[in-house]
Amino acid sequence: MNRRSLALVVAVLAVVVVLCGAMVVLPLLMLGQARAEAAACDLPSLPDSPVPGAGSWGSTETTNAAVIVSVGRQRQVPPRGYVIALATAMQESTLRNLANANVPESLSLPHEGVGRDHDSVGLFQQRPGWGSVRERMTPSYAASKFYEALLRVDGWQQMRLTDAAQAVQRSGLPEAYQKWEGDAEQLAAKVLGLANIDDIGGGAPMAPCGVDDLGPVPVGPGGWVQPIRAGIVSPFGPRGGRLHAGADLSSADIRGKPIRAAAAGVVEQVKCDWYTTCDRDGNTSSRGCGWYVDIRHPGNIVTRYCHMIQRPEVAIGQQVTAGAVIGFVGSSGGSSGPHLHFEVHLNVPPGPFHANSANAVDPVSFMRAQGAPLGPST
Ligand SMILES: [Zn+2]
């Protein structure tokens, strides 16, 4: 970071510290940040309040749809997942939380219709292996279990909708989900207040929280997106007698902001790079990336994200989509204030620990070439 922006960050922090009292307040700050983030990611209506009907769907069905989409967001499922979940519930229950005439307990729980298929209940007609009767008839639980299973299906985002749904449901009518695709796309867009679900990548890997959250960032042909919208406060290049191997991105309110995978890939490293804990702010008296993540992308490209506020949200070996939240901005490790230190490495031999300053390139020119330039706006 340069001196001026460092001074700004220090000033902002000083005010915050004076107002609230340092470390005690950090969880509160993060809560506030989480709220701000939630506002940007929020559905137009709370899942537990009735949502007006949309298209041919009544308020009951649309409210259930909002719950399904909301749970998907909370779980950071790519938007394609909302569409698959909605199409599945449309086929299984026409989006009504169904009791079952064969399951007496289900009739005593709140329900919106009665089915009689085996011992299946709820929006997704889940059988006993998925949870208790009460759990399966709780829409948020049922949706959560559906997504959990969907995310375990290899390559689900590239499948036909009905194949992905069937991999989860193992229904007797494997083709039956496909006919709901258009309806599901429209209803997903409707409950999100979007004109078109493709705006947030109803099929393509893009930002999980949509255009309002990440902003209309350019997505290059290879699917690259900005890891964060913030200004460059210290560029790639020689600094203090050695190579500053990345670009520092920051703004006055950057602490706690989500950091996103710049492209699809596999998490190669998740580590605290500091001589002591990374769960608090570091300093500049020694080097270190703090909490950081390396992601390996096709073509032997590795991106690195440093100084996160807490243990990253991803694990080694995890597949991530472009725009998936991998952690939150902090100042852990050798850092002068909250910022994202972002690195790009090319021609990195397979295996961890091969991304180093010898194969680091300027992230600014690299990201510009991918059609996703770094910076506070587009
Ligand atoms: Zn840096």
- C-alpha 244 – ligand 1 centre gap (Å): 6
- C-alpha 234 – ligand 1 centre gap (Å): 7
- C-alpha 252 – ligand 1 centre gap (Å): 16
Closest to 209 in 3D by CA, of 31, 43, 54, 32: 43
Q: Return d(Cα 95, Cα 68) in angstroms, integer.
A: 10
Please report, in tens digits, the pLDDT of each residue of the chain (378 residues total). 455 555 555 454 444 433 333 333 333 334 333 333 333 344 334 445 677 888 899 999 999 999 999 888 877 788 889 999 999 999 999 999 999 999 999 999 999 999 999 999 999 999 999 999 999 999 999 999 999 999 888 878 778 899 999 999 999 899 999 999 999 999 998 888 877 777 676 644 334 444 334 444 556 667 898 899 899 999 999 998 999 999 999 998 888 888 889 998 999 999 999 988 999 999 988 789 999 999 999 999 999 999 999 899 889 998 888 877 788 899 999 999 999 999 999 999 998 889 999 999 999 999 999 888 898 864
Which residues are close to ligand 1, an ion, with C-beta < 5 A?
A: 248, 341
Contact 257, 328 (CB under 8 A): yes
pTM metric for this prediction: 0.50
- C-alpha 305 – ligand 1 centre gap (Å): 10
Contact 220, 335 (CB under 8 A): no
- C-alpha 2 – ligand 1 centre gap (Å): 10
- C-alpha 331 – ligand 1 centre gap (Å): 11
- C-alpha 36 – ligand 1 centre gap (Å): 26
- C-alpha 248 – ligand 1 centre gap (Å): 5
How far is CA 6 from each of CA 12, 108, 249, 252, 335, rounded to the nearest angstrom?
A: 10, 61, 12, 10, 10
- C-alpha 243 – ligand 1 centre gap (Å): 10
